[in-house]
Amino acid sequence: MQRAVFLFLAGAAVLAAPMAAQAKHSPSRHVSAKHGAAPVVVELFTAQGCASCGKANAFVAGLADRPGVIALTWSVDYWDYLGWKDTFAQPDFADRQRAFDHHFGLRDVYTPQVIVDGAAQASGARPDAVEALIRQAKRPPGHQPSLRFYHGGERVAVGAGSAVYGSAEVWLVRYDPRSQEVEVKDGDNRGHTVTVRNVVRQTARLGVWRGKPAQFVLPEGDETLHTLILLQAPKGGRILAVLQGKP
């Protein structure tokens, strides 16, 4: 059921001079994405009501401390009918997983599932397969567009580059970096404690990037959460560039 896809992104990676100048005069505590090796984004789709997700939760939690890896935990709601409503799940999170699986040609969503850089997927119950995808993703990438927070972290600028399929989507992801434990009181995991880390709490599609320098306004959010910007090929495609920071 696995289907690994790895594409290189080719294109220029520079911010236009006016935008760079504006960012220079609007300092923030964020760090801009640099050219070369970029962090590998590992996304786990899981649920508190999923009886087979414990091993995957622990594995991805361990990845959270690994240099060069950004681990995200997305809680989905389609197992809620088993008797326990996931306390972190949002409908948009399952929609993100469906977009990925449609892109991969999978018939149905499932948990635990891990997506690596939007380019490949594997069962979260198979850490060896996920590790292989992470190693593959760490091969030297092509040039990526520059991303930068500015104006006190209220906006993000995307520089010039080659847009995939004519455009790419700019996504905001905010997640809680803490390790969290949830006592499940009903359903398949009744009586068990589910432990998760880097739980996504907010996501928003900021707009479309078409290869030219562009600016996007970030919605307000909880300052205790970490902020991540993903430049991603449309409809669940490959992640092209990443910017992480904390307001």
The helix/strand/coil state of 99 is: helix
Annotate 140-191 with DSSP letters as a single string.
PP-----EEEETTTTEEEE-B---GGG-EEEEEEEEEEEEEEEE--SSTTTT
Residue 14: is its pLDDT beyond 60? no
Residue 144: is its pLDDT beyond 90? no
Token reading at 36? 């070369």
* pTM for this entry: 0.83
Token reading at 120? 């490949």
Looking at residue 32, its pLDDT comes to 37
Looking at residue 245, its pLDDT comes to 82
Q: Which domains does the chain have, with CATH numbers?
A: 17-245 (3.40.30.10)
**Strand 239-245's sheet: what is its strand order?**
120-123, 113-116, 40-46, 69-75, 193-209, 168-183, 226-232, 239-245
Annotate 193-216 with DSSP letters as a single string.
EEEEEEEEEEEEEEEEE-SS-EEE
* Confidence category of residue 139, pLDDT binned at 50, 70, 90: low
Q: What is the pLDDT of residues 226-239, one digit of tens each?
A: 999 999 999 999 99
Q: What is the pLDDT of residues 149-205, one digit of tens each?
A: 988 889 999 998 876 667 899 999 999 999 999 999 999 999 999 999 999 999 999
Count the neighbouring beta carbons within 10 Å of the beta carbon of residue 221.
14
